[in-house]
Amino acid sequence: MKRFSSRPYTLHLLVAQLCLATLLRKTLFRLCLPLLAGKTRNRVSWTAFPNRVGQRGMLSFVLAGFALLDAAALWARDIVYVRPPGQKKDEVISGTIQEETPAGIKLKTDKGEVKNIPALHIRAVDYGAGVDAVGRVDYHSGDAKLERALLETTAKKKAEGLESALLAFRDLDANGQLRSIVSVHRYLQYRIAQTTALLAQEDLSRRDAALAALNDYKTAFADGWEIVPALQLLASIQEEKGDTEGASKTYAQLAGLPGIAPAMKLQGQLKGARLLLRARKFHEAEAKLKQVEAALPVDDPQRAFVEVYLIQSRIAQKSDLNGIDKKLEQLLRTSNDGALRALAHNALGDYYRAKGDNAQAFWEYCKVDMLYNQDKEEHAKALYYLAQLFDKPPRNDRDRAEEFRTRLKSPQFDGTLYQRLAAAKKTED
């Protein structure tokens, strides 16, 4: 899952400007502007500053005050914090939000440009109406606590920080003024569901609460940009819990959202089909995969993934295995994509196991473990079958088998299907 990123410097700068502007506002109108006019009560005028240094200092004070008052005026604007994949810092875009949909936010900037910001690039939003209602510091209280919590390096402090953030979001949403603003209420409800899900990652006993919060959110707020990350979180938790059918349905719902990017729609379809394969719903999975394949351009690199998934379905059903090895080897010769190579080598391992050639299957899984281990699900699958193959002829090495099972128990594979299968097998044994 993608984590909520920190933007402390931007936030601290805005808070500092707020404090300074508040202090200067009264001074400017009670002292500085009358001085410029040359008349005030108590006979104070511009001549009260007899030397140029004093006059320059006063003028600088006035100009700085007006600059900060301009900044204060901007605070009533909507502000979107954006971070596309690969960037390390947020881009701050201010203006007026014109439309919010599952595709993202359409915003007219202060310069008059219209920007369409994809949902998954959005890190946070300051809705001007919400800031006006409670002030920027209070409005940011939940987000600031969430940011700090996600920067904590110990599980205990992180959990405590998330609890504090959750309480802050709930308090904000209980505010009648904020709750009456549809966009702010929707945003705070998303933050509540998101933070509950993050707590479930730290404490599995809270998983059901996270699932309930996310399911309630998707039912009540399906029309905003937040529905995209909310559905991704929901599918992830369902998958970690072992609810492959539920996760597949969630991915299908994600793929069916109106206006989302074609790449996101495709990923949702592929993930949903993969989960159907794991649930052994082969005919349903194949129907979805063939539908996706028919819609893809001939030269689209995603076609190779669809082909491997269809091959996996044939292998799992032990249906028409002829020529499968040649097809997978051809895909491997024509692609350097690490994710595809992991998928194809694991599929070759499955093929050789189905043919009874455990020795050749062993080396295919080894390639995933040693060379193409970026995808934790495919890596977990390779470890699972390597442990099984060490237990069988020709190796018969129980110590090495146990070594691979131990590796599969490590936290890096938490939530994977094959970690769950290994734990279930151990219980049966």
Q: What does the alpha-carbon distance between residue 248 and residue 254 come to, in Å, rounded to a whole number? A: 10
Q: Nearest CA to 380 among 417, 348, 343, 411?
A: 417
All CATH 1.25.40 domain ranges of the chain, comma separated, are: 322-429
Residue for token pair 């495919």:
378
Say if residues 78 and 97 touch (Cβ distance below 8 Å): yes
Global pTM value: 0.72
How are beta strands 104-109 and 78-82 bridged, if at all? Answer: unpaired
pLDDT in tens, the chain (429 residues): 444 444 444 445 454 555 555 555 445 445 444 444 444 444 444 444 445 445 555 555 545 554 444 444 445 689 999 998 888 899 999 999 999 999 999 999 999 999 999 999 999 999 999 999 999 899 999 999 999 999 999 989 999 999 999 999 999 999 999 999 999 999 999 999 999 999 998 898 999 999 999 999 999 999 999 999 999 999 989 988 888 889 989 999 999 998 888 888 888 888 888 888 888 888 888 888 998 888 888 888 889 999 999 999 989 888 788 899 999 999 999 999 999 999 999 999 999 999 999 999 999 999 999 999 999 999 999 999 999 999 888 888 899 999 999 999 998 888 788 888 888 765 444
Task: Tell me what pLDDT residue 328 has.
Answer: 95
Nearest to 6 by CA among 153, 148, 137: 148
- Distance CA(304)–CA(328), nearest Å, equals 10
For helices 141-151 and 155-174, angle between their N-to-C axes, nearest 10 degrees: 170
Task: Kindly report the CATH number that applies to the domain delimited by 322-429.
Answer: 1.25.40
The residues, any chain, with a CB within 8 Å of residue 55's CB and separated by 6 or more, are 46, 49
Burial class (CB in 10 A: 0-12, 13-18, 19+), 428: exposed
